[in-house]
């Protein structure tokens, strides 16, 4: 298996100055040997500064969103080409963009296609709302989001999937390890149908939704995840570093990076 991956999604938080302080605090407290891939995803305004600060260490940088066109009259949007100058990862299809900003699976698919064409690595988010979960539609929603978002995408070597049940994001209520395991298994099953067993098993699948230092070990051990997409806890250096360090210890014990 490849390295575990821990990505911090800062969302709409931190000025450039605050971003710099957070990065320096994270760097100062990380263990010297890290067998975990770490990605920081700041707002666009801080991408350049965070990229500069992490240029000489192993921390990677990602954007939180991208537009599906490479250039043109699209006021306020940021193209894959622009992102590529600053970082190598981009989050696409986060539930907040789907629910608050109305992004459809078709739009997500266009963004993925544009990002792939520029060689960006993608973290694709999928997950069900509380209403969908209560109606027993979790598997149906995950299937719909995956198949439509990845429509006509022939190869997914540079795509990581993040399973984020919407009802667990920012609520302090993490999905149980069984909920998480079931979601991960559903995703792998669908990927196997679409791309074959080898790709399904080699694709990294993260969990996101109220991940914290207290539950990361259980999630890694029992749910079969390859890391986490961390929201609120990534805004606190102590919490984020604790998640990384505990993931690192788990990786070393289990040989996840072999």
Alpha carbon distance 245, 28 (integer Å): 13
- Structure tokens that stand for 148 in this block: 């439509």
- Structure tokens that stand for 151 in this block: 């429509």
Q: Where are the beta strands (DSSP E) in the chain?
A: 4-9, 36-41, 60-63, 89-92, 121-126, 159-163, 205-207, 227-230
Catalytic (active-site) positions: 94, 164
The separation between CA 24 and the C-alpha centre of its own chain, rounded to angstroms, equals: 22
What is the maximal distance between C-alpha atoms in the chain? 52
- Structure tokens that stand for 5 in this block: 């991956």
Bridge partners of 162?
125, 206
């Amino acid at each position: 298996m490849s390295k575990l991956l821990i990505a911090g999604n800062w969302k709409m938080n931190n000025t450039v100055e605050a971003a710099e302080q957070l990065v320096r605090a994270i760097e100062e407290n990380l263990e010297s040997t890290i067998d975990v891939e770490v990605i920081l995803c700041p707002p666009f305004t801080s991408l350049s500064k965070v990229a500069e600060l992490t240029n000489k260490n192993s921390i990677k940088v990602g954007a939180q969103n991208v537009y599906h066109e490479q250039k043109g009259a699209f006021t306020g949007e940021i193209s894959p080409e622009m992102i590529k100058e600053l970082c190598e990862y981009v989050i696409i299809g986060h539930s907040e963009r789907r629910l608050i900003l109305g992004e459809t699976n078709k739009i997500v698919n266009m963004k993925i296609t544009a990002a792939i064409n520029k060689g960006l690595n993608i973290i694709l988010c999928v997950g069900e709302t509380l209403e969908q979960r209560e109606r027993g539609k979790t598997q149906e929603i995950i299937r719909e989001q995956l198949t439509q978002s990845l429509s006509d995408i022939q190869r997914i070597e540079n795509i990581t999937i993040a399973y984020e049940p919407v009802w667990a994001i920012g609520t302090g209520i993490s999905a149980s390890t069984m909920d998480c395991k079931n979601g991960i298994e559903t995703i792998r099953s669908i990927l196997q149908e679409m791309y074959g067993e080898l790709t399904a098993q080699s694709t990294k699948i993260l969990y996101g939704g109220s991940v914290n230092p207290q539950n990361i070990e259980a999630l890694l051990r029992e749910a079969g995840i390859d890391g986490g997409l961390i929201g609120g806890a990534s805004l606190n250096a102590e919490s984020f570093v604790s998640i990384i360090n505990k993931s690192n210890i788990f990786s070393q014990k289990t040989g996840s990076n072999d």
